Copies of this chain bind each other. A is one copy, B any other.
Amino acid sequence: MSQPRIRLGMVGGGTTALIGPVHRIAARMDDRFELVAGAFDSDPARGREFAATLRVASERAYGTYEEMLAAEAKRDDKIDAVVIVTPNFLHFPVAKAALEAGFHVICEKPMTTTLDEARALAELAKRTGKSFVLTHTYTGYPMVRQAREMVAAGEIGTLRRVEVEYLQDWLATAVENTGSEGAVWRTDPAKAGQGGAIGDVGTHAYNLAAFVAGEEPTHLLAELASLVSGRSVDDDAMILMRYASGAKGAILASQVLPGNGNNLSIRIYGDKGGLEWWQERPEELWFTRLGEPRQLLRRNGAGATAAAIAGSRVPAAHPEGYLEAFANIYRDAADALRSPPGSEFIPNAEDGVRGLAFVAACLASDRDGNVWTKIED
């Protein structure tokens, strides 16, 4: 017998939003959720109109998130969780209010715009006992999970070096001046936070490095740049990292390098082997044991680990992608909401805090002349 669907109320994600539809598809993919309420737009009327296109009942199409939380709290069939897909600066107030109102939270990254907010939120989540799921999409890819499991199983030996790149080119020109809504808020420190590329894609990269390595660096050294002139936040960043174990790492995060679409990759090496993965060809994980031929591991294929199999819906060589990775986060979230704390794979409030600690350390290191800076924990 199937369990009832988890009821979601969404904040943000209206007409022009990019990530809102992704959340809705991901939530729907495995039929564990239903979207029953929402405050989809900063313009209440537009939000309500949009809600109708999603078959959200008109009485649950709210003008503001405050309104939604208040009204839902009183319903018998009230929502279980709030999905937050607004610009960054709203993550904190919405999540805070949602947790305080007794709802679970599923929130876009970065968790907040400052480290203090992130810590406050993590604290609040702990106090309320509610789940806080941070949608670090890329940890949902089966081959990323397989990489994590292989590293944990000692397949590459003692960690030597982690290289993560997250390269895009959609901000290669000043599109924020020509009307791209997503670019406008992402390059506005008041809305996105002080970090530009480091917040938008750098936090994904940092999280991916930690997720796969199973280890956090202790210090970093960052050089931030705004390669498009006139931009108020960094759009290009190189970050060096040090691990307590002596291992080294680097993150290159840039949104201004022509020819890069969503070119996220991780390469991780130990003394016994190496693993390499590129998000744009997510079904393929390269594995080499030192001195042996390179192997191309494929999702749900020969050599698949438990998590990679669990995270697969279709057989090997029937490509799954970004939406399925995202749906894996939701699937795990469903399990976690029903029986906390859920899978080790779910990015949570602690990960969110670490993401903001990363951003804070990057900003400090760069401000102080690219010096080694402790990543606070």
- What is the interface of chain A, defined by CB distance below 8 A to chain B? 1-2, 5, 18, 21-22, 24-25, 28-31, 52-55, 156, 160-161, 163, 169, 172-173, 221, 223, 225, 227-228, 236, 238, 240, 246, 248, 250, 252, 254, 256-263, 267, 269-274, 276, 279-283, 286-298, 301-303, 313-324, 369-372
CB <8 Å contact, A248 and B225: yes
Least Cβ–Cβ distance between A146 and chain B, in angstroms: 12
CB <8 Å contact, B273 and A258: yes
**A296 is contacted by which of B21, B293, B303, B371 (Cβ under 8 Å)?**
B293
CB <8 Å contact, B303 and A313: no
Contacts A29-B323, A173-B271, A294-B295 known; list 5 others, CB within 8 Å.
A18-B315, A280-B317, A293-B303, A313-B323, A320-B321
Least Cβ–Cβ distance between A198 and chain B, in angstroms: 14
CB <8 Å contact, B269 and A161: no
CB <8 Å contact, A53 and B273: no
Tallying the copies of this chain within the complex gives 4
Least Cβ–Cβ distance between A233 and chain B, in angstroms: 16
Whole-angstrom CA separation of A323 from B313 in the bound complex:
9
Whole-angstrom CA separation of A151 from B267 in the bound complex:
28
Contacts of A317 in B (CB 8 A): 261-263, 279-280
Whole-angstrom CA separation of A30 from B22 in the bound complex:
11
Least Cβ–Cβ distance between A40 and chain B, in angstroms: 14
The closest CB in chain B to the CB of A56 belongs to: B2
Given known A-B contacts A28-B29, A317-B263, A319-B321, A52 and B18 have beta carbons under 8 A apart: no
CB <8 Å contact, A248 and B271: no
Whole-angstrom CA separation of A281 from B87 in the bound complex:
33
Whole-angstrom CA separation of A160 from B290 in the bound complex:
33
Whole-angstrom CA separation of A262 from B324 in the bound complex:
19
**A318 is contacted by which of B163, B262, B287, B303 (Cβ under 8 Å)?**
B262
Given known A-B contacts A293-B301, A318-B322, A321-B319, A221 and B370 have beta carbons under 8 A apart: yes
Least Cβ–Cβ distance between A325 and chain B, in angstroms: 9
**A270 is contacted by which of B258, B260, B274, B288 (Cβ under 8 Å)?**
B258
Least Cβ–Cβ distance between A98 and chain B, in angstroms: 24
Whole-angstrom CA separation of A173 from B263 in the bound complex:
31
CB <8 Å contact, A160 and B273: no
Least Cβ–Cβ distance between A375 and chain B, in angstroms: 16
Given known A-B contacts A31-B28, A238-B250, A282 and B319 have beta carbons under 8 A apart: yes
The closest CB in chain B to the CB of A292 belongs to: B302
Whole-angstrom CA separation of A227 from B31 in the bound complex:
42
Whole-angstrom CA separation of A322 from B300 in the bound complex:
14
The closest CB in chain B to the CB of A283 belongs to: B280
CB <8 Å contact, A227 and B259: no
Contacts of A263 in B (CB 8 A): 317
Which A-B residue pairs are the 8 nearest by beta carbons? A261-B317, A259-B288, A319-B321, A262-B317, A259-B274, A258-B290, A318-B322, A321-B321
Contacts of A52 in B (CB 8 A): 1-2
The closest CB in chain B to the CB of A163 belongs to: B252
Contacts of A250 in B (CB 8 A): 238, 250, 252
CB <8 Å contact, A1 and B53: yes
Whole-angstrom CA separation of A276 from B273 in the bound complex:
25
Whole-angstrom CA separation of A59 from B180 in the bound complex:
51
The closest CB in chain B to the CB of A272 belongs to: B258
**A240 is contacted by which of B31, B238, B319 (Cβ under 8 Å)?**
B238
